Structure 1
Amino acid sequence: MVESQTFSGQHRPPHSPSESVIRLIDVTKSFGEVDVLKGISFDVSTDSSAVIMGGSGSGKSVLIRSIVKLVTIDSGEVWIRGERVDVLDGHDLDRVRLGIGFLFQGGALFDSMTIAENMDFILHRHSDLDFADRRLRVEEILSWVDIVDKIDQYPSELSGGQKKRAALARALVLEPEIMIYDEPTTGLDPVSVRTVSELIVRLRDEQNITSLTITHDLECARIIADKVHFLYDGRILESGTLHELQRSGLPELRNFFGTSRF
Structure 2
Amino acid sequence: MESIELRRIHKSFGALHVLRGASVRVEAGTSGVVMGGSGSGKSVLIKHIVGLLKPDEGEVFIGDTRVDTLDGDDLDRVRLSIGYLFQSGALFDSMDVAENMAFFMERHTDLTPAEQRDRTEELLSWVDLADKLHAQPAELSGGQRKRIALARALVLEPSIMLYDEPTTGLDPISVRSVSELIVRLREERGLTSVAITHDLLCAEIIADSVHFLSEGCIVASGTLDDVKRSDHPAVVPFFESTDTTGS
Query: How far is 1:81 from its partner?
Result: 2.2
Root-mean-square deviation (CA), in Å?
A: 1.2
2:47 pairs with 1:65: yes
Query: How far is 1:75 from its partner?
Result: 1.1
Query: How far is 1:178 from its partner?
Result: 0.4
Partner of 2:110: 128
TM-score, normalised relative to structure 1: 0.91
Partner of 1:90: 72
- The answer to whether the Cα contact below 8 Å between 1:120 and 1:134 also exists between their aligned partners in 2 is yes
- With over 3 angstroms needed to count, the CA separation of the structure-2 counterparts of 1:261 and 1:159, relative to structure 1, is closer
Query: How far is 1:101 from its partner?
Result: 0.0
Q: Which of 159, 180, 197 lines up with 1:177 in the alignment?
A: 159
Greater shift in the superposed pair: 21-30 or 209-218: 21-30
> 1:161-190 CA distances to partner (integer Å, 9 max, x unpaired)?
000001001101111010000000000011
- The answer to whether the Cα contact below 8 Å between 2:22 and 2:216 also exists between their aligned partners in 1 is yes
Unaligned runs of 5+ in 1: 1-14
Unaligned runs of 5+ in 2: none
Distance (Å, rounded) in 2 between the aligned partners of 1:234 and 1:164: 28
Query: How far is 1:241 from its partner?
Result: 1.0
Identity %, equivalent residues: 62
Partner of 1:35: 17
Structure 1 segment 1-262 matched on structure 2, within 5 A: 15=1, 21-258=3-240, 260=242
> 1:132-151 CA distances to partner (integer Å, 9 max, x unpaired)?
01000000001001101101
Distance (Å, rounded) in 1 between the aligned partners of 2:41 and 2:241: 24
Query: How far is 1:251 from its partner?
Result: 2.1
- The answer to whether the Cα contact below 8 Å between 1:105 and 1:184 also exists between their aligned partners in 2 is yes
What amino acid sits opposite 2:223 in the alignment? Answer: T
Query: How far is 1:246 from its partner?
Result: 1.4
Distance (Å, rounded) in 2 between the aligned partners of 1:207 and 1:53: 24
- The answer to whether the Cα contact below 8 Å between 1:246 and 1:261 also exists between their aligned partners in 2 is no
- The answer to whether the Cα contact below 8 Å between 1:25 and 1:39 also exists between their aligned partners in 2 is yes
Partner of 1:11: none
> 1:61-106 CA distances to partner (integer Å, 9 max, x unpaired)?
1001111121121111101121111111110000000000000101
Distance (Å, rounded) in 2 between the aligned partners of 1:191 and 1:183: 16
What amino acid sits opposite 1:231 in the alignment? Answer: L
Distance (Å, rounded) in 1 between the aligned partners of 2:217 and 2:231: 17
Distance (Å, rounded) in 2 between the aligned partners of 1:120 and 1:175: 13
SS of the residue aligned with 2:211? Answer: strand
Distance (Å, rounded) in 1 between the aligned partners of 2:243 and 2:164: 23
Query: How far is 1:222 from its partner?
Result: 0.4
